[in-house]
Amino acid sequence: MSTLAAAPAAARRASTSQSGSWRDGRDQQRPLTAPGQPFDGGEMLRKVAVLMSEPGSATHRLRVLRGRRHEPCVTSLLADLSQRKIRVRVEEIDEATLRSCYGERARHVSSTAETLQRRANFLRRLSRAAEAGASDVRLTVLPDAAVLRHKVHGRWKTVEELTVDEGRDLQRTCFALADLASHATYNPYEFQHARLLVSRLTDTDRAAARLDRLRACRLNFMPLEGLGRGLSIRLLPEPPGRADLASCGYDAAQLEDLEHLRRRPHGAVFFSGPMGSGKSQSLRYMLETDYRENDGARYMMTVEDPAEHEILGAEQLSIPGGLLPEERRVAFSQAMMTAVRNNPDVLMVGEVRDSESGAIAIEAANVGVGLYATVHANDALSIPARLAGPGLELDPALIYSPAIMAGLINQRLVPLLCPSCREPLSDVGTPQAERMRRGLAAHGDVTKIFVEGRGCTACRGLGRTGRTVAAEIVVCDAELLRRLAEAARNPALLPSASEYWRRELGGRPMAEHARDLVVAGLADPFAAEQLVGPLVPDGRRAGRVARSPASAAASQGSGGGLQLVDGQRSGRAT
């Protein structure tokens, strides 16, 4: 067993033995779900239930408001108690009784004021992250130090160094503020995840910090080497008032492709890309644009784990917290089957994660539902092989069917340069910069290409002002899918499928979209390459090709590549 695995296990055993202290003091009842107590499950749980210790008994009482027993926070607590083999008797009560149970907690909690102050301290830090435009926050607690970092426009920055005790308090407080969680109680030695929904915070909490820019947070807690603890927070901002795909950064031709895919009566459209590539936002904008264009005449449903944003016009099925992995898998598949039985015109699936959910999604597209989904793949043309390959193993006859597979999309978010402090590429005197200048000269004026500066007051020292989409969008036809199916059996044939997409269907790889951003002076070429791959051919390879007469003649004979006519791609499918 590795040190990393052994340390949390030992710590859990120590924690279990130490946690026996919550059974002490059996001479009086006390609310074990109160702040700072062993089963503190956050404010949402305290609004509907209280777990009371029973003096002299091994069974505790879970007192729940009438009609609220099946709330996710209550079922999560019951699952946790069952896993710990703690016996409990459930009874229903009214609000007055619930308030009176928590009214006695002052005898058992050292200071309510201290608890409120800890919550305020955490929420103020969250507010500062949102104000700075952070997409993610990372709080790392090690045995001798703790550090808080923000990820703004794709770059991590340390914003605060803390003591170990301060870091642990913030992590514990964060879990207590969550409204949905994988476990009913916080355990610093286990992998846990949760959600914090701003609208469900108490009035006192919301008054402590400005969180009007923030809708929710996804929380992931993890044990680290040496009894450390990591907390990753994904910030989900309040969406803009009106969804606009153009504002994501798609170019005019890509917007035409998205409109074509949106207007199809059935078939599947798959988005792919790493975490933080804007897939969820693009999907939401696609659905909301569909809703407006059809005046709400199309019935739309989503299945998400969990739902991140409200989607205009859609019925959203969200997987509850407090489930074990297998229970979560079953709940996701059940939600998908429920959605399909409702016969929606459009179904959005947050992620195709296993063969069961994938088979249900593809069957939905096969029976006439317009399907949107996400899947992990490195580029658009690899999506069908990913769906039919190990882990998902969906039926190739359906995956490569033109009646089902409509569109394939892969994207990244490329940082936008600060116009106030960006620096000309021509001022950079490195071999890499010279390679970039030579390669990009054929695509635009290199004097208008810039790299990231050192930062200024306008960009808060980041050198960046935001991020925009660089994407590749494939509108499938029967011939392309036939070639991709052959390439799945013989990878050597994949270039043939890619060439067909580019020449016959007017396809543009994501790197070309990113290169347009660079040539326009909007993006740093080196930052773009780190995300999408080479923008220009490697200098050594280009030199070898240039010295080959046969290669040069072949290039001239084939027209030298994709042609541009009046700024538009030739050979575009209509």
d(CA 441, CA 405): 38
**Higher per-residue pLDDT: 213 or 532:** 532
Out of 1-5, 288-292, 428-432, pick the least confident: 1-5
Q: Mind listing the pLDDT tens digit for each residue in 339-396?
A: 999 999 999 998 888 899 899 999 999 999 999 999 989 999 999 999 999 989 999 9
Q: Mind listing the pLDDT tens digit for each residue in 433-468?
A: 999 999 999 999 999 999 999 999 999 899 999 999
CB-based contact 360:347 (threshold 8 Å): no
Q: What pLDDT sits at residue 322?
A: 62
SS3 label, residue 548: coil
Q: Which two tokens stand for residue 324?
A: 């074990």
Which residues 6+ apart lie within 8 Å of 204 measured at CB? 116
Q: Is the pLDDT of residue 24 over 50?
A: no
If you search the block for the tokens 């202290």, which residue do you land on? 21
Q: What pLDDT sits at residue 536?
A: 82
Q: Which CATH superfamily is domain 245-411+468-507 in?
A: P-loop containing nucleotide triphosphate hydrolases (3.40.50.300)
- What number is the average pLDDT over the span 223-228? 88
* β-strands 192-197, 300-304 pairing: unpaired
DSSP string, 245-261: GGGGT--HHHHHHHHHH
Q: Selecting from 3.30.450.90, 3.90.1200.10, 3.40.30.10, 3.40.50.150, what CATH number does the domain 112-237 have?
A: 3.30.450.90
**Higher per-residue pLDDT: 157 or 574:** 157
- Residue of 349, 286, 274 lying closest to 510 (CA atoms): 274
Which residues 6+ apart lie within 8 Å of 245 measured at CB? 255, 258, 282, 285, 286, 289
Average pLDDT, the chain: 84
SS3 label, residue 122: helix
Q: Which two tokens stand for residue 522?
A: 């909007």
- Residue of 249, 184, 238 lying closest to 213 (CA atoms): 238
Q: Is the pLDDT of residue 287 over 80?
A: yes
- Given this chain, do its domains 112-237 and 245-411+468-507 carry the same CATH topology? no
- What number is the average pLDDT over the span 273-280? 91
Q: Which two tokens stand for residue 406?
A: 């409509």
Question: Tell me, what amino acid is at 279?
Answer: K
Q: Is the pLDDT of residue 3 over 60?
A: no
Q: What pLDDT sits at residue 326?
A: 82
Task: For residue 161, list its beta bridge partners.
Answer: 147
Q: Is the pLDDT of residue 154 over 50?
A: yes
Q: Is the pLDDT of residue 559 over 90?
A: no
The pTM (predicted TM-score) of the whole model is: 0.72
Q: Mind listing the pLDDT tens digit for each residue in 481-507?
A: 999 999 999 999 999 999 999 999 999
d(CA 12, CA 19): 10
Quickly count helices (H) and strands (E) in the chain.
20, 21
- What number is the average pLDDT over the span 8-30? 44
Tell me what percent of the residues of the chain surpass a pLDDT of 70: 86
- Residue of 27, 229, 217 lying closest to 135 (CA atoms): 217
* β-strands 346-349, 370-375 pairing: parallel
Q: Is the pLDDT of residue 65 over 80?
A: yes
Q: What pLDDT sits at residue 321?
A: 64
pLDDT confidence tier of residue 422, bands split at 50, 70 and 90: very high
Q: Is the pLDDT of residue 84 over 60?
A: yes
Q: What pLDDT sits at residue 480?
A: 98
Q: Is the pLDDT of residue 148 over 90?
A: yes
Which residues 6+ apart lie within 8 Å of 539 measured at CB? 435, 438, 439
pLDDT confidence tier of residue 470, bands split at 50, 70 and 90: very high
Q: What pLDDT sits at residue 391?
A: 87
Q: What pLDDT sits at residue 109?
A: 46
Q: Is the pLDDT of residue 188 over 50?
A: yes
Q: What is the dihedral of CA 351, 262, 253, 277, to 10 degrees?
A: -20
Q: What pLDDT sits at residue 465?
A: 94
Cis peptide before 306 (omega within 30 of 0): yes
Q: Domain residue spans in the chain? A: 41-102, 112-237, 245-411+468-507, 419-462+509-538
pLDDT confidence tier of residue 172, bands split at 50, 70 and 90: very high
